[in-house]
Amino acid sequence: MENDEDLAAVRAVVAGNSAAFAGIVERWQGPLFNLAYRFCRDRSQAADMAQDAFLKIFRALPSFREQSTFSTWMMSVAMNMFRSHQRRTRPNLVALDAALDLPHWGNWGLEERTSRDETVRLAVQALPEKYREAIVLFYFHEMNVDKAAQTLGIRPGTLKARLHRARGRLERNLRRRLGTEPVPEET
């Protein structure tokens, strides 16, 4: 149903009715804004990135061949944009050594928990690009491997392998710095 509405809007836009694009923006503003936010962790920057993504989607609409669902195609276009944006601007890499001057996992108050959660999310930004994208897309798609793999244009098996390695790196970095039990090095 959602795809039907999107397809109708796409055809109207391609036929010259640019105002029909508003329906697409209304339906997809939330997902695109949230996806952008997960890449930059800044609301204002996320709004700019999402706007740029919508503009790119608008320009690219005539090339949409309806071979995949509109949402998959749109997410791929947005992902490419976010990826190149992140390569252009210096990524918000967290200096884990400096940021994680925090107590043990078990002894956190609410404020510390919030701070720790944000630190963990920032730590995702410090991962190499392919692992970061795997983690971001997997959780963005509510842990749906197939959808995340489609958006990234890779096979589900490849995504699972990247997720496994990404989680390993993430947990190892965080545990080592947060002072919990050491995790053996990956071989």
Partner 1 sequence: MDELDRILNEEQLSPPTTFVQRVMRAVMQEASTPPPIPFPWRYAFAALAAMVAILIAWFLLSPVVPSGPLARGGTDLQRTIAAIDPSLLAWCTSIGAALIGLLRYSVRFVTD
Considering beta carbons, is residue 120 or 154 the nearer one to partner 1?
Answer: 120
Considering beta carbons, is residue 89 or 105 the nearer one to partner 1?
Answer: 105
Q: Write the interaction track for partner 1 spanning residues 30-69; mark x where CB under 8 A is met and - where it is not.
A: x--xx--xx----x--xx--xx--xx--xx----------
Candidates 21, 39, 73, 131: give the one binding partner 1 (CB under 8 A). Answer: 21
Distance (Å, whole) CA 13 – CA 17: 5
CA 184 to chain CA centroid, Å, is 28
Binding residue count for partner 1, defined by CB under 8 A: 33
Which residues, at least 6 apart from 151, have a Cβ–Cβ distance to it below 8 Å?
72, 75, 76, 79, 137, 141
Distance (Å, whole) CA 55 – CA 37: 17
Count of all residues that appear for the chain in the document: 187
Nearest approach, Cβ of 159 to partner 1 (angstroms)? 15
Q: Of 73-81, 86-94, 138-146, 152-160, which segment contacts partner 1 by CB under 8 A? A: 138-146
Nearest approach, Cβ of 19 to partner 1 (angstroms)? 8
**Half-sphere exposure of 162 toward its Cβ, with a 13 Å CA cutoff?**
22
Nearest approach, Cβ of 103 to partner 1 (angstroms)? 15
Is residue 123 within 8 A of residue 96, CB to CB? The reply is yes
Distance (Å, whole) CA 128 – CA 120: 15
Runs of H (alpha helix) within 15-142: 21-40, 43-60, 70-88, 96-99, 110-125, 129-140
Considering beta carbons, is residue 61 or 149 the nearer one to partner 1?
Answer: 61
Considering beta carbons, is residue 165 or 167 the nearer one to partner 1?
Answer: 167
Nearest approach, Cβ of 55 to partner 1 (angstroms)? 6
Binding site for partner 1 (CB under 8 A): 18-19, 21-22, 25-26, 29-30, 33-34, 37-38, 43, 46-47, 50-51, 54-55, 58-59, 105, 117, 120-121, 124, 135, 139, 142-143, 167, 170-171
